[in-house]
Every structure is written in C-alpha cells, then in structure tokens.
C-alpha cells in the first residue's frame, strides 16, 4: 500500500500529519527510485511510525481550588542519529496528530543541522493564556512528574515551543531536578545562570533571517532596505524582527491570535522594545500597540475569512512566525501579487501545500520551516554540548556557530535541490538531504 494511503487509513483524523508526510513523500520519490535499498529496508514504513508515543493525564488545581485534567504527550519519533530532541507545545489545539506532524518535521530538521539529534515533540492541550503564574507552575510540575520517567540528557531532551517559554522551562526543570536528584542538560532553553546558552532565545528568529539572507545572497541581493511582513508576536517573531532591523530590513506587520498590526512607518527598535515588554512581561495583546502608536492599524482576526489580510500588503519578504497553515492558497497568491519574493518560515509548516505550489510556480525564494527555522534547535544542540562540557561559550561564539550552521543548511539544501534537477527548490533540497541522512543511519543500524 502507498505510504499516504496507509497513514490515512491507520490514523484518519491526523490531517496535519498526513500533510507533513505528503510533502516529504513527494520530494523523495526520485531518491527512492535511485536507491532501492531504502525500499527493501522498509525505511518509509518505519520513518512514519513514532518509535514511542507517551500519553498521560495531567491533573492540576487552579487558584480557586478546582481540579482540572489536561492531556500530556511526548512523541519520540526517531532516534537514528541522536537522542530525541524537539519542543513542548502548550496550546488548546494540541492533539496527537499535531504533535506527530511536528515530530516528523523535527526528524528532518534536526538531520539538517549537522548536529547529532533525533526527532521528537510533545506538549499538552493546556492553555497558559490567562492563567496565573502559580497555576502555570502547578501545571508544569504535574506535567513533569510523569514526563520525567521518559526523558533524560542522553535519551530525550525537550525544549520550548508555542506556549512554553523561559518561565515554563524553569518550572519543568525545577521539578525534574527534584524528582531525579540530578542537574543535567535534560531540557534546553534554560535560564542563563543555570545552564542555558546565550542566543538560544534569539536563535530561531535570527536563524530564519540568516536563511533569508543566504537565499538572497545566492542571487546577489541582500535584506538591506527591504520591507517584511511578519506574523506572530512571540519568541520567533520578536527575534526575527530584531535581526531584520539589524540587517536594514523594516518589519511592517506582526500579530497574535486575536488580530494583526500594520504599521506603515515600520517597527523600529523602540517599538520592538514596546512589543517585547507587552508580550513577555505584561502578557498583553498586540491591539495595545495601536493605542500606543497611532500610525499603526489594528485589524481583528476573522476566523471565518478565506484569507488573512496580514499577507495582503506590499512588501519584499514574508516571515510567517506564528503557527501551522497560516498561509493558504489565496494568501500565497496575495503575497506574490504584492511583490513578495522571499518567504522564510520561522513557524513550522505555516504554508498549505497549495500555497507552496504557488511559491514554487512563481519562483519565489521559499525557505521551508524545516530548514529556515532550524536555528532554534541548532542552538539547543549547542546548549547540550556546553552542558556536557560544563562550559559556556560567549554570545559572539554561539552566534558565529549559528551563522555557520544556517549557511551550511542553506548550501546543503541548494546543492541537493540542484543534484535532483530542481534548482532553487529549497523544499525538495531540505526534504531529500534530511531524509538521506536519517535513512542511511537507519540502514546501518538494522531493522529496529
Ligand atoms: P510563542 O508562543 O512564543 O508565540 C506564538 C505566536 O503565534 C503568538 O503571537 C501567538 O498568538 C501566535 N499564535 C499561536 N497559535 C496561533 C493560532 N492558532 N492562530 C493565530 N496565531 C497564533 O511561540 P514561538 O514563537 O516559539 O513559536 C511560533 C512558531 O515557531 C510555531 O510554529 C513553532 O512551532 C515554531 N518554532 C519555534 C521554535 C522556537 O525555538 N521557539 C523553533 C522552531 C519553530 P497568541 O499570543 O494569541 O497565542
């Protein structure tokens, strides 16, 4: 049976997982044709099935003394090239299908980083939004009481993702340490004075801008004096905007799940500081930006709309940095019609397959998430290395390594795309290069 039919039949409700697998299957057809050993060793049948899925109850008590129960998950997808590595997401939309898609993407992304990391992902349908610090702390502690049995510095090393930032990683780490009586690099994204790495918070956003810069450089162009549409206003969006400003490019949009801001004068350093304070300290909504800066226009989200107006403004570049499937076919066409010719995905799978087709048909410089946002997990890998050495590199050293890794990923994707007859198709390049590395390791290790 064809792989896609198999997963649709086996898990009919996991739409995002089908989408992620579908994209890879399409790209790697020529690789399987040239290398029959992958088929005979059943690599595809094995790579689509998680090595292990852990599903558990997370009971916790709110500030009023009421008991709540959420679901906790960890998908340990593939450990062929290293311990499972991938973030934890706390968001009401979390379910097994979403986490399987994220874990599947993570396997290929981690292979591209050049570092020895397998792929995993986890999280909960818990929503930290609107919860007090104490409620978040109690939830994280309860989550870790179960998760701690399954992870470890050499087994599975989670990190942050949507809804899991420095605060949550702190509470999770504290409980792990207490339960296991050991201080190890079991989580990444830790605080700087207790094992974290410089540049880890910045890494995904910086990396996605470095990837865009590399795509432009390969065409003799740069980000200087360009304008950019950014979505999201969390960790990835904030540091995407920071690096864009440093490289002379002006962000004109950003968003949260309630709506988006268009600032025709552009976000500058002072405005970005306002956003960081608003989101990270006050945990407020982007709407407040328009109250502070009257030149900005706030548009509330319309969940019934067939497109997102954020993607319908004149610009040169787009950095989707919020969530999956936030650019559909119509959005992609709007981007092309508005002159956008560079798309670098900070978020995971933010573009639908129909949207990607429009980018590829229009020869947009399109950096898919598994390549463009690999900077975050790369610096997580560097955090693991520093923890093992019990040593910290300087900010410049980590940033330098991040730049080199993003350059290497870009070159690898570009050369692989050319080798398979699809020049500048970074999606094919990323899927094929990531697949070959993992598949070869699986061949070496036998049917396990
Ligand atoms: P954050 O939680 O810090 O921020 C997420 C942002 O996206 C918020 O502005 C949030 O708005 C918005 N958002 C989330 N879900 C939705 C939704 N369903 N509809 C509209 N807006 C939404 O997460 P990150 O910045 O860490 O992650 C953003 C993306 O980047 C995700 O796809 C993640 O998987 C990916 N990524 C993150 C990495 C990292 O290192 N953090 C590494 C690689 C990829 P609101 O506040 O209203 O929820």
The ligand 1 atom at the shortest distance from the C-alpha of residue 238 is 25
Domain residues of the chain, as ranges? Answer: 50-194, 203-372
Residue carrying the six token digits 């976000």? 267
pLDDT averaged over the chain?
97
Domain 203-372 grouped into CATH 1.10.3470.10? no
pLDDT digits 0-9 by tens, 87-128 = 999 999 999 999 999 999 999 999 999 999 999 999 999 999
Cα-to-centroid distance, 36 and ligand 1 (Å):
39
For the domain covering 50-194, report its CATH number.
3.40.50.10860
- Side-by-side strand order, sheet with 52-61: 52-61, 67-78, 119-124, 84-90, 156-159
pLDDT score recorded for residue 434: 98
Q: Is 129 annotated as a binding residue?
A: no
Are 50-194 and 203-372 the same fold in CATH? Answer: yes
% pLDDT > 90, the chain: 100
Q: Can you name the residues that pair with 228 across neighbouring β-strands?
A: 251, 317
Cα-to-centroid distance, 168 and ligand 1 (Å):
15
pLDDT score recorded for residue 36: 96
Give how far the C-alpha of residue 77 lies from the chain's centroid of Cα atoms, to the nearest Å.
16
pTM score above 0.85: yes
Mean pLDDT over 245-261 rounds to 98
Strand 296-300, strand 259-263: pairing = antiparallel
- Distance, in Å, from the CA atom of 5 to the CA atom of 301, rounded to the nearest integer, reads 35
pLDDT score recorded for residue 354: 98
Structure confidence at residue 1 as a pLDDT band (50, 70, 90): confident
Mean pLDDT over 73-84 rounds to 98
pLDDT digits 0-9 by tens, 174-222 = 999 999 999 999 999 999 999 999 999 999 999 999 999 999 999 999 9
Residue 391 in this model has a pLDDT that exceeds 90: yes
Nearest to 376 by CA among 117, 7, 46: 117
- Distance, in Å, from the CA atom of 127 to the CA atom of 223, rounded to the nearest integer, reads 36
Q: Is 109 annotated as a binding residue?
A: yes
Structure confidence at residue 276 as a pLDDT band (50, 70, 90): very high
E strands within 200-267?
227-230, 250-256, 259-263
344 lines ligand 1 (CB under 6 A): no
Tokens for 244? 């864009």
Residue nearest to atom 2 of ligand 1 (CA): 162
- The Cβ of residue 285 has, within 10 Å, a number of other Cβ atoms equal to 16
Distance separating the N- and C-terminal Cα atoms of the chain:
21
Q: How many helices (H) and strands (E) does the chain have?
A: 17, 12
Mean pLDDT over 411-437 rounds to 97
Residue 271 falls in the annotated catalytic set:
no
pLDDT score recorded for residue 253: 98
322 lines ligand 1 (CB under 6 A): yes
Q: Which residues contact 138 (CB under 8 A, 6 or more apart)?
A: 60, 61
Q: Is 235 annotated as a binding residue?
A: yes
Nearest to 261 by CA among 269, 246, 251: 251
């Amino acid at each position: 049976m064809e792989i896609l039919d198999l997963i649709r039949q086996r898990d009919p409700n996991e739409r995002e997982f089908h989408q992620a697998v579908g994209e890879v299957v399409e790209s790697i057809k020529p690789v399987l044709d040239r290398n029959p050993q992958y088929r005979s060793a059943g690599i595809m049948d094995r790579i689509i099935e998680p090595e292990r899925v852990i599903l558990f109850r997370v009971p916790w008590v709110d500030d009023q003394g009421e008991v709540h129960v959420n679901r906790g998950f960890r998908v340990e997808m593939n450990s062929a090239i290293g311990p499972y590595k991938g973030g934890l997401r706390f968001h009401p939309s979390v379910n097994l299908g979403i986490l399987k898609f994220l874990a599947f993407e993570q396997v290929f992304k981690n292979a591209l980083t050049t570092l020895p990391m397998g792929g995993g992902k986890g999280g909960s349908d818990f929503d930290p939004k609107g919860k007090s610090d104490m409620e978040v702390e109690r939830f994280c502690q309860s989550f870790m009481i179960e998760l701690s049995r399954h992870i470890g510095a050499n087994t599975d090393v989670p990190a942050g993702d949507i809804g899991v930032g420095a605060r949550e990683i702190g509470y999770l780490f504290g409980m792990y340490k207490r339960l296991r009586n050991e201080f190890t690099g079991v989580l990444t994204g830790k605080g700087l004075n207790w094992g974290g790495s410089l540049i880890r918070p910045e890494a995904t956003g910086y990396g996605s801008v470095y990837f865009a810069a590399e795509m432009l450089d390969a065409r003799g162009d740069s980000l200087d004096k360009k304008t950019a549409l950014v979505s999201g206003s969390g960790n990835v969006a904030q540091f995407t905007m920071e690096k864009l400003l440093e490289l002379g490019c002006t962000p004109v949009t950003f968003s949260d799940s309630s709506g988006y801001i268009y600032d025709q004068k552009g976000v500058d350093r002072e405005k970005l500081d306002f956003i960081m304070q608003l989101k990270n300290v006050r945990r407020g909504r982007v709407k407040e930006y328009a109250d502070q800066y009257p030149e900005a226009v706030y548009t509330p989200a319309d969940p019934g709309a067939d497109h997102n107006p954020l993607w319908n403004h004149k610009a040169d570049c787009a950095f989707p940095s919020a969530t999956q499937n936030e650019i559909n076919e119509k959005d992609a066409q709007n981007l092309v019609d508005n002159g956008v010719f560079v798309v670098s995905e900070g978020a995971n799978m933010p573009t639908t397959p129909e949207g990607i087709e429009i980018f590829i048909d229009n020869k947009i410089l399109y950096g898919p998430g598994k390549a463009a946002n690999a900077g975050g997990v790369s610096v997580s890998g560097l955090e693991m290395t520093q923890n093992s050495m019990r040593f910290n590199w300087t900010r410049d050293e980590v940033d330098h390594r991040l730049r080199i890794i993003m350059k290497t990923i870009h070159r690898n994707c570009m050369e692989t795309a050319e080798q398979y007859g699809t020049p500048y198709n970074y999606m094919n390049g990323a899927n094929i290069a990531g697949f070959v590395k993992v598949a070869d390791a699986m061949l070496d290790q036998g049917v396990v």
